C-alpha cells in the first residue's frame, strides 16, 4: 500500500527538514524578504513581474506563512472564539456552522468552547480565548463574565443596553404566537407554562435576559393582555439544564393539581419532549385530551406521536447574521473607525409557527410535510 504522499496536490518540500520561511523564498527568488512578504500580499507596489518570480519560488518550495509569527507581528490572530453552553445541542451547532461559513469566507477560523451552562467555565473560556488573541467573540453567554475588550456579539442569551451587539430569537413574538394559537384558535383558557426556573443560580448570574426568562415574561404579558389567569401552579419548571427528565417530573406534578390545565406551552424542545413522554405515560391523548405546543421545533417532530406543533427558529440565518455583525465590527476596528454604527446592532429574528397535531389541529394532509 502506497504512502498517502502520492495524493497530496501541489508541490511539497521534498527535504523534510524544516518548513521553508520567507527567507528561503527570498533567496530563491533573488529578492529581499520584505519584497516576498509584499508580493504575497498582493501589494500594488510590487510589479507583476517580480510578483511572478516570488510566487513561483514560493510554490516551488511549498512555502506557507507561519501564522504564529504573523499574529505576533500584526497583533491579530484571524481567530474568532465561539462560546456556547453545549455544542452538542442542535441549536448551537447549527448557529456555529452557519457563522463559521461566513467567517471562513472572510478568512477567519473558529475556536469553540463549551461552558456547560456554568459562569465559572465561561469565565475561564473567555480568558483562554483572550490569551489566544482572538480577534472577536460570538457568545451565547451562560451569564458569567462579560468581555469588555474587543468586538463581541451575543446570540441567544442577550445583553441589552450595553452597546454590545446581539442577535437573538424573537422570544416575545414567538410566545405571543403560541398563546394566540391556543387561546383564539382552540379557545383554551387554562394554559400552563413549562420552562426552567427564572433567576440566577449558584452557577449562573445575570439571567435577566436569558431566553427562559424572556419567554416566561412574554407568557405572562400576553396572558395578562388577554385577561387569562396565570395561577402559580400553572407555572411548571424543569431544571436549569433543560433536561427531558426534569420536564417529565414537572409535568407529572402539573397534571396532579386540582384543576389541571387544558394546554401546555413548553419553553424549549427538550422540555416538550419530556412533557410528551410523561403525558403519554399518564395515558393522555395529546392533541385531544390536552394540547401541547413547543417553543423550538424538535427534530423530526412531524414523526412523533402525535406530530408536534411548534415554533421553528431560523437557526442558520441567526448564525449568519451574528457572524456578519461581528465581521462589521472587526472591519470597523481594523480601519480605525470605531463607532461607525451604520449597521443595526441589535436584531431579533422571528419564528414561524408550524401547526401539526399536538395542539389539537386536525390532520390535514398529514404526511405531506417535506423533510428538513
Considering only residues 58 to 87 of the shown chain, the ones binding its own copies according to CB under 8 A are 64-69, 71-72, 77, 79, 86-87
For residue 367, the partner it binds in DNA, its own copies, none, with Cβ less than 5 to 8 A by kind, is its own copies
Which long-range contacts (C-beta less than 8 Å, at least 24 apart) are formed by 337-340? none
Query: Which residues are CB-neighbours of 16 under 8 A, at least 6 positions away?
Result: none
Query: Considering CB distances under 5 to 8 angstroms, the limit depending on partner class, which of its own copies, DNA, none binds residue 309?
Result: none
Q: Considering all CA atoms of the chain, what is the largest pairwise distance in Å, rounded to the nearest integer?
A: 89
364 binds its own copies (CB under 8 A): no
34 binds, among DNA, its own copies, none (CB under 5 to 8 A by kind): DNA
Q: Taking CB under 8 A as the rule, does residue 3 contact its own copies?
A: yes
- 145 binds its own copies, rule: CB under 8 A: yes
- Taking CA atoms, 111 is separated from 74, 80, 135, 156, 189, in Å, by 19, 6, 11, 18, 47
Report yes or no: 271 and 238 within 8 Å, Cβ to Cβ: yes
Q: How far is the CB of 71 from DNA (least distance, A)?
A: 8
In the set 8, 11, 34, 97, which binds DNA (CB under 7 A)?
34
138 grid coordinates: 460570538
> Which one, 28 or 276, has the nearer CB to DNA?
28
32 lines the binding site for DNA (CB under 7 A):
yes
Are the C-beta atoms of 110 and 132 separated by less than 8 Å? no
Whether the Cβ atoms of residue 11 and residue 62 lie closer than 8 Å to each other: yes
Query: Nearest 5°: CA angle at 74, between 73 and 75?
Result: 95
Helical pair 244-254 and 269-281, crossing angle rounded to 10 deg: 50
Q: Which of residues 236-275 bind its own copies (CB under 8 A)?
A: 243-245, 248, 273-274
Choosing among its own copies, DNA, none, which partner's interface includes residue 17 (Cβ < 5 to 8 Å by kind)?
Answer: none
Range 14-20, long-range pairs (CB < 8 A, 24+ positions): 19/64, 19/66, 20/61, 20/62, 20/63
Find the shortest distance in angstroms from Cβ 128 to DNA: 15
- If contact means CB under 5 to 8 A according to the sort of partner, which of DNA, its own copies, none does residue 170 touch? none
With CB under 8 A as the contact rule, which of the stretches 108-116, 183-191, 320-328, 334-342 interacts with its own copies?
Answer: 108-116
| 291 within 8 A of 186, measured Cβ to Cβ | yes
- Which position among 96, 137, 191, 255 is part of the footprint of its own copies (CB under 8 A)? 96
Q: Give the residue, chosen from 19, 285, 334, 340, that forms a contact with DNA under the rule CB under 7 A.
A: 19
User: Is residue 294 within 8 Å of residue 301, measured between CB atoms?
Assistant: yes
For position 132 contacting its own copies by CB under 8 A, the verdict is yes
Distance (Å, whole) CA 172 – CA 47: 58
173-212: contacts with its own copies (CB under 8 A): 205
CB 147 within 8 A of CB 329: no
Map the footprint of DNA across residues 37-96, applying CB under 7 A: 37-38, 40-41, 45-47, 50, 63, 65-66, 69-70, 72-75
Nine cell digits for residue 93: 451547532
- Least separation in angstroms between CB 137 and DNA: 20
Instruction: Give the separation between CA 185 and CA 178, rounded to whole angstroms.
Output: 10
Residue 334 partner contact from DNA, its own copies, none using kind-dependent CB cut-offs of 5 to 8 Å: none
Contact 245, 196 (CB under 8 A): no
Which residue lies nearer to its own copies by CB, 14 or 48?
14
Say which entry of its own copies, DNA, none residue 100 contacts (CB below 5 to 8 A, set by partner kind).
its own copies
Across-strand partners of 109? 79
Query: Which positions lie near DNA, rule CB under 7 A?
Result: 18-19, 21-23, 30-35, 37-38, 40-41, 45-47, 50, 63, 65-66, 69-70, 72-75
Amino acid at each position: 500500500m502506497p504512502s498517502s504522499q502520492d495524493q497530496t496536490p501541489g508541490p511539497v518540500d521534498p527535504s523534510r527538514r524544516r518548513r521553508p520561511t520567507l527567507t528561503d523564498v527570498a533567496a530563491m527568488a533573488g529578492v529581499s524578504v520584505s519584497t516576498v512578504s509584499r508580493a504575497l500580499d498582493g501589494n500594488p507596489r510590487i510589479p507583476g513581474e517580480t510578483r511572478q518570480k516570488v510566487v513561483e519560488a514560493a510554490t516551488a518550495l511549498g512555502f506557507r506563512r507561519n501564522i504564529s509569527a504573523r499574529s505576533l507581528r500584526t497583533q491579530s490572530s484571524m481567530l474568532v472564539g465561539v462560546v456556547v453552553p453545549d455544542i452538542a445541542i442542535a441549536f448551537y451547532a447549527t448557529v456555529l456552522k452557519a457563522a463559521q461559513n461566513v467567517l471562513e469566507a472572510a478568512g477567519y477560523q473558529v475556536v469553540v468552547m463549551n461552558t456547560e451552562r456554568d459562569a465559572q467555565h465561561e469565565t475561564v473560556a473567555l480568558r483562554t480565548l483572550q490569551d489566544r488573541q482572538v480577534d472577536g467573540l460570538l457568545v451565547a453567554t451562560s451569564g458569567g463574565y462579560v468581555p469588555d475588550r474587543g468586538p463581541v456579539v451575543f446570540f441567544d442569551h442577550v445583553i441589552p443596553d450595553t452597546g454590545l451587539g446581539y442577535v437573538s430569537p424573537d422570544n416575545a413574538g414567538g410566545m405571543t404566537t403560541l398563546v394566540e394559537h391556543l387561546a383564539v384558535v382552540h379557545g383554551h383558557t387554562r394554559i400552563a407554562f413549562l420552562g426552567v426556573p427564572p433567576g440566577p443560580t449558584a452557577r449562573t448570574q445575570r439571567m435577566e435576559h436569558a431566553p427562559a426568562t424572556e419567554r416566561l415574561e412574554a407568557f405572562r404579558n400576553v396572558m395578562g393582555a388577554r385577561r387569562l389567569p396565570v395561577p402559580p401552579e400553572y407555572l411548571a419548571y424543569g431544571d436549569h439544564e433543560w433536561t427531558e427528565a426534569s420536564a417529565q417530573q414537572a409535568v407529572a406534578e402539573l397534571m396532579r393539581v386540582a384543576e389541571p390545565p387544558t394546554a401546555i406551552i413548553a419553553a424549549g424542545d427538550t422540555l416538550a419532549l419530556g412533557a410528551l413522554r410523561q403525558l403519554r405515560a399518564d395515558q393522555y391523548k395529546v392533541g385531544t385530551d390536552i394540547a401541547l405546543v413547543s417553543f423550538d421545533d424538535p427534530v423530526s417532530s412531524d414523526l412523533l406521536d402525535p406530530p408536534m406543533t411548534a415554533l421553528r427558529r431560523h437557526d442558520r440565518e441567526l448564525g449568519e447574521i451574528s457572524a456578519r455583525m461581528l465581521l462589521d465590527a472587526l472591519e470597523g476596528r481594523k480601519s480605525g473607525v470605531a463607532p461607525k454604527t451604520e449597521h443595526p446592532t441589535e436584531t431579533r429574528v422571528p419564528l414561524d409557527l408550524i401547526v401539526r397535531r399536538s395542539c389539537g389541529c386536525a390532520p390535514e394532509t398529514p404526511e405531506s410535510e417535506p423533510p428538513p
